[in-house]
């Protein structure tokens, strides 16, 4: 994948790029159908995605397991699957 991104200016540029992509996709979906339902669904998608991301990278690290540091959504999924097997009394 390449070296880790360490320059804050490039990190901000990357974040701006993600926001721009999300905005353009949301605008494209809303403009394509021009329905209030589509706009509401897009807003709910954005809100729910942000809350899920917050849970994965803040709540888990701060409140559930402060020792574990995640590197991405894949590491969150592996952590959750591993934790569910360890905590499952039937396993």
Q: Where are the domains of the chain?
A: 8-87
CA distance 82 to 84: 6
% of the chain with per-residue pLDDT over 90? 37
The yes-or-no verdict on residue 44 having pLDDT over 90 is yes
Please tell me the predicted confidence (pLDDT) of residue 88.
Answer: 57
Q: Is the pTM of this model over 0.95?
A: no
Q: Which residue, chain included where needed, has tokens 């934790």?
A: 83
Q: Would you state the structure tokens that stand for residue 78, as one six-digit string?
A: 């592996």
Question: What's the chain's length in residues?
Answer: 91
Positions of E strands within 1-91 = none
Q: Which one has a higher pLDDT value, 89 or 31? A: 31
Q: Would you state the structure tokens that stand for residue 5, as one six-digit string?
A: 């991104």
Please tell me the predicted confidence (pLDDT) of residue 25.
Answer: 92
């Amino acid at each position: 994948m390449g070296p880790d991104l360490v320059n804050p200016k490039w990190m901000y540029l990357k974040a701006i790029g993600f926001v721009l992509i999300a905005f353009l996709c949301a605008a494209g979906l809303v403009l394509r159908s021009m329905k209030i339902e589509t706009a509401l669904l897009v807003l709910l998608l954005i809100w729910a995605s942000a809350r899920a991301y917050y849970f994965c990278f803040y709540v888990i690290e701060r409140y559930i397991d402060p020792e574990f540091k995640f590197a991405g959504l894949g590491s969150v999924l592996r952590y959750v699957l591993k934790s569910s097997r360890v905590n499952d009394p039937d396993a």
